[in-house]
Structure 1
Amino acid sequence: MSVEGEPKRPRTQGGDSAAANENTPVTREAAGVQQLSNTTVAAQTPFLADKWTPFLADKWVSVFAALSSAKDALRDVEGGVKGTIRPIGWAKPPPPADSADGLPPDVCRDVIYPCLPIDEAICSARPISRAYGTQLVNEAFVTARIDDHLSRHSLTGLIDVHRTAADTANAAAPTPAPPTSSSSSSDAPAPAGDAGGDGGGHQSHFGYLSQCCYALEHGGAVWCESPDFIRPTHIYKLTPSTGVPLIMSPQWMAAHLPTKADFHTMPLALRQYSTFGHLLNYRGTSLALTKVDEADEGGEGKKEAERGDGEEGEGEGEEDGGVTWQWYTIGSGEHEWRFETVPKSTLPPHHPYRRTYDPHNPPIRYGDCLFPSFTAFMKWMVLSEWYKQEGVDEKQVFEATVGRGDERYQRLLTGPIEGHTTVDFIHREGRNERLRFIFLKGMKEGDTVAAYLYLSGGRIVLLYTTEAAIEGQTRLSDRFPIAMSLAPTLLTKYGLAHIIPQ
């Protein structure tokens, strides 16, 4: 994977002191974790002071003394070019000028570290509290942060990590060698193994947990949409034979996300899917996400996207938030799906997707269809492309036709529907007609069947479900009691109960 991002800073610390510090327990423990930010705790002192003054009234003297010495220590370490990407623990800073142990452990534990992103908490553990840093920022600390993010994003029971070092060691294969490229050695992904130099190349449990925590910590608003995708994938038997939760793989994390630059080489929604997409399977094919190399494409992807659709803007700019025309694939061989991300600047001024545009979760073009976001596209993929998975028996329950200009139908097609997840997209042929999926069941914890309405062609309503039909029954309400108890409730609310066959 090509590494994009900040310029690298060479290691500048020298002398016997630096050499002696290279092989400390802290250095070895943190070697699998990447230096994901250069912001130090010292730089955040004003924020902490404003936020936590009531809790630090009798400790400010030691707090500021420690922060000052930590800042001086980090300045010594961080000489050279700004913007480096290096593994945490790559170079241990020299001890502060005074002999103080830094902040009291209770202040670090209860005030400092909970306020910081995981990468900064780990980077600052040693310089702020030399005596207690490694005891406070350890595997238990990172695991607690992971659990907090899983709970906050409603991912508990859907995504998880290996909880013990033994599980990580058993699951992780040797870390692949960094790919060769024309870039300098400092651009190559850092090894995720132990920094002790034993040559084992294994993934440390602490490093693995920290990588997972960083992935979960970024793009929380996007992660919150993942449950509405993962639950249907389980119902449609796309998850592993072990079901959910999907366990983030140490081998995959070490091979694909060894640095911050690697994590941020694609929009957050796509990157988040990539951390578990390879675990999903459709008819024997892994549903891993792959970024298509532009050199392999010969530039054809962008040319095709810009050709003949009449929706180009005035060129890509800051409003795109870093999103470019970029091809991706999911799956491979016979079961491969290719799509591309859409920059905001290429959408017409009054296009509805401009108002909701999120560079972290950008619109997707797939064939003749345009989706408002990657997460919407993935939910559509389950219902439109992956519904024929072996063992899944999705059935059409009924189809009804509504007048094309029916206002009730148009409200159902375009308006918000409280209590239901919808998937909207535009078919680009003809008059760019809007289409919509409305989930009736399959989005809540404990759901074992899916049921949804499909609004198509501006006038057709179809009901589909994975519910097993009850044999010997002729009435739809008796053959599909779950689906037929849900559809009338919604359609009646919109004045369309008359279209339901008996």
Structure 2
Amino acid sequence: MSGEGEPKRPHTQGGDSAAANDNTPVTREAAGVQQLFNTTVAAQTPFLGDKWLSVFAALSSAKDALRDVDDGVKGTIRPIGWAKPPPPADSADGLPPDVCRDVIYPWLPIDEAVCSARPISRAHGSQLVNEAFVQRRITKHLSRHSLTGLIDVQRTAADTTNAAAPTPAPPTTSSSSSDAPAPAAAGGGRHVSHFCHLCQCCYALEHGGVVWCEWPEFIRLADIYKLTPSTGLPLIMSAQWMAAHLPTKADFHTMPLALRQYSTFGHLLNYQGTSLAITKLDEPDDGDEGKKGKKEAEGGDGDGDGGVTRQRYRIGSSEHEWRFETLPLSGLPPRHPYRHTYDPHNPPIRYHDHVVGDFLFPSFTAFMKWMVLVEWCFQEGVDEKQVFGAVVGGGDERYRSLLTDPIDGHTTIDFITEGEWDDGQRRLIILKGMKEDDTVAAYLDLYGGIINLYTTEAELEGQTRLSDRYPTAMQLARSLLTKHRLAHIIPQ
């Protein structure tokens, strides 16, 4: 009887030779990863063998038909009654190895490729879906999401074996936090084979590809603002952290994808000595009861489309911590602009600023870029400064255009300050800091009819004109403001 969650193997000929292969080191390792993927909630869904049964049957039938034609008279159909030739010795493997390698496995998600390798090709599956296969998948995903050089995995077994001790989960006020280490990780961390680690990382990278494409800009900004490790980029998904925090694929799906993706590398970032790891919170903040009526008036009951709920999180800890909450679709008023762009994988965020009030961001990734520029800009050695500020007036149509229109060639971070300036509209226009070779950042901050220019560019001493003291930031700002007929606000 097959184990729970394990796919049933079809009865085939040549069972003795196949069984001999079931005890090889590679096969045992593949079986371990199969157990990793099968012992999850997702394993309760129909298995790939059922979903792809017709495909496998069709391919096998086509293979048999070709053999029949070859064994008969070319150009004819074998007459009824002819005895079918005995099957070749490798028929116990189902599909030929090259078909599995070149046709089937490349199209399957990594968990289905691993879990189906042995049932489809028992003698060859573990050799085809091996470390080299998974590493190629990882490299492809990193390249596809423009993450090459920014994020990576421990590439060799030595890296996995000799890595540092597991990264501890940040302290929580509740033991039910989804990012608390699994019991198996207690006492120094659960051992994970290199193949298993590669599969965990590959699974993480191939989920939410469109959202992964949002992170390169954030990581480049984080590097400019000196939030990345002293060893520099790429940020490495370590075997110890993955084993402690994401032991199964069910754990991966306990947060919206954007938040979970950040969790795989966020603990490596550091602000003034504090890890910027993300933690799910279970207890309410002080004053939450007072906000309850306001949230219910907005139409939110805590249940949202795509599995998003009104859930609180924390980044950082102690004196350097920032709390926010995800918003379900039902938590937005009927005509709210964020309803049109709502993505349950990258949901809107509400963040409370003790000075200004509540900020509402259209997505978690937009919120995180804002955090780098506004909250984490005081990292030692960054030296961000305000170059100039100008008052235009909230009713000026040129200002309104810059505040609301698409800005070609630049990333914008749009968010709402609830109940204040310009009906709450606020925008950061990032002029520099998002591209691969950028070493400084510069951006415009627009709110309440005011335009401010900030930059990390080092000031050139001995110069009196702003355009000479900050040539890069000023040239970019002048170009954009001139295009919107606002060059007159730029000081000399």
TM-score range (shorter-chain normalised) is 0.7 to 0.9
1:284 paired with 2:285, answer: no
Who is 1:27 aligned against? 28
Q: Cα distance 1:158–1:28, how it changes in 2: closer, same or farther (>3 A)? A: same
Change (3 A) 1:441 1:9: same
2:148 paired with 1:145: no
Are residues 34 and 309 of structure 1, via their aligned partners in 2, closer, same or farther at CA, if it must alter by over 3 Å?
closer
What does the per-residue CA deviation read over 1:21-76, in whole Å, with 9 as the maximum and x for residues that have no partner? 996532334425433644444334378589xx9x999536599xxxxxxxxxxxxx
CA contact (8 A) 1:427 1:435 kept: yes
Q: Which residue of 2 aligns with 1:343?
A: 328
Partner of 1:450: 441
Tell me: CA distance 1:210–1:267, structure 2 relative to 1, closer, same or farther (3 Å). Answer: same
5 Å-filtered alignment, 1:113-262, equals 113-171=105-163, 173=165, 201-262=190-251
Name the aligned partner's letter for residue 420 of structure 2. G
Sort the Cα spacing of 1:201 and 1:374 in 2 relative to 1 into closer, same or farther, 3 A: closer
Q: In structure 2, do the counterparts of structure 1 residues 257 and 200 end up closer, same or farther at CA, with 3 Å as the change threshold?
A: closer
One-letter amino acid matched to 1:420: H
For the Cα contact (< 8 Å) 1:175–1:192, is it kept in 2?
no
> What's the % identity of the aligned pairs?
68
- TM-score by structure 2 length? 0.81
Q: Which amino acid aligns with 2:63?
A: K
Seen in structure 2, the aligned counterparts of structure 1 residues 410 and 298 have a Cα distance that, compared at 3 Å, is closer
The answer for the alignment partner of 1:196 in structure 2 is: none
Q: Do the aligned partners of 2:411 and 2:429 also contact (CA within 8 Å) in 1?
A: yes
Partner of 1:88: none
Alpha-carbon shift at residue 189 of structure 1 (Å): 5.8
Task: Give the AA of the match of 2:37.
Answer: Q
Where 2:339 maps in the other structure, the secondary structure is helix
Aligned counterparts of 1:27 and 1:407: Cα–Cα separation in 2: 68
Match in the other structure for 1:495: 485
Instruction: Output the CA distance in 2 between the equivalents of 1:246 and 1:174.
Output: 15
1:344 shift after superposition: 1.0
Q: 1:375 aligns with which of 365, 372, 377?
A: 365
1:414 maps to 2:417: no
Do residues 59 (structure 1) and 60 (structure 2) align?
no
Q: CA deviation at 1:390?
A: 0.6
Residue 459 of structure 2 corresponds to residue 469 of structure 1: yes
Contact 2:49 2:116 in 1 (8 A): no
1:270 aligns with 2:256: no
AA aligned to 1:477 is S
Confirm whether residue 438 of structure 1 aligns to residue 429 of structure 2.
Answer: yes
Larger Rg: 2
Q: Which amino acid aligns with 2:414?
A: D
Among 43, 49, 54, the alignment partner of 1:42 is 49
Residue 203 to residue 174, structure 1, CA distance change in 2 (3 Å):
farther
2:338 aligned partner, one-letter code: Y
User: Which stretch of structure 1 is more off in the superposition, 400-409 or 378-387?
Assistant: 400-409
Q: Any idea what SS the aligned residue of 1:239 has?
A: coil
Shift of residue 261, structure 1, vs aligned partner: 1.6
- Decide whether the 8 Å contact of 2:189 with 2:243 is kept in 1: no
What do the CA deviations read for 1:212-267 (whole angstroms, capped 9, x no partner)? 00000100111000011100000000000011110011111000001122111110
Distance 1:114 1:23 in 2: 26
Quote the residue 1:322 is aligned against.
Answer: 307
Query: Residues 170-194 of structure 1, C-alpha deviation per residue, up to 9 Å, x if partnerless?
Result: 1154799xxxx999xxxx969589x
Name the CA shift for 1:436/1:401 in 2 (closer, same or farther; >3 Å). Answer: same
Equivalent residue letter for 1:218 = H
How big is each residue's C-alpha offset from its partner over 1:314-357, in whole Å with a ceiling of 9 and x where there is no partner? Answer: 6355x521111111000011101111111110111100111111
- Provide the C-alpha distance between the structure 2 equivalents of 1:403 and 1:331, rounded to a whole number of angstroms: 37
Q: Distance in 1 between matches of 2:360 and 2:452?
A: 21
Name the CA distance, whole Å, in 2 between partners of 1:142 and 1:360.
25
State the secondary structure of the residue aligned to 2:315: strand
Against the structure 1 CA distance between its residues 247 and 30, is the aligned structure 2 distance closer, same or farther, given a 3 Å change threshold? farther
Task: Provide the secondary structure at the position in 1 that maps to 2:415.
Answer: strand
Kindly provide the amino acid, as one letter, of the partner of residue 492 in structure 1.
Answer: T
Letter in 2 for 1:166: A
Q: Which runs of 5+ in 2 are unaligned?
A: 9-15, 68-89, 169-173, 353-357
Q: Distance in 2 between matches of 1:299 and 1:167?
A: 41
Given the two structures, how large is their TM-score scaled by the length of structure 1? 0.80
SS at match of 2:294: coil
CA contact (8 A) 1:172 1:203 kept: no
Contact persistence 1:327–1:339 (CA under 8 A): yes
The 1-side partners of 2:285 and 2:491 are apart by: 51
Paired residue secondary structure (2:262)? helix
C-alpha distance in structure 1 between counterparts of 2:323 and 2:189, whole Å: 38
Tell me by how many angstroms 1:456 deviates: 1.5
Q: CA RMSD in A?
A: 3.4
Task: Give the secondary structure class of the aligned counterpart of 1:469.
Answer: coil
Residue type of the alignment partner of 1:43: D
Which runs of 5 or more residues in structure 1 are unaligned?
1-7, 64-97, 194-198
Partner of 2:73: none
Equivalent residue letter for 2:50:
A
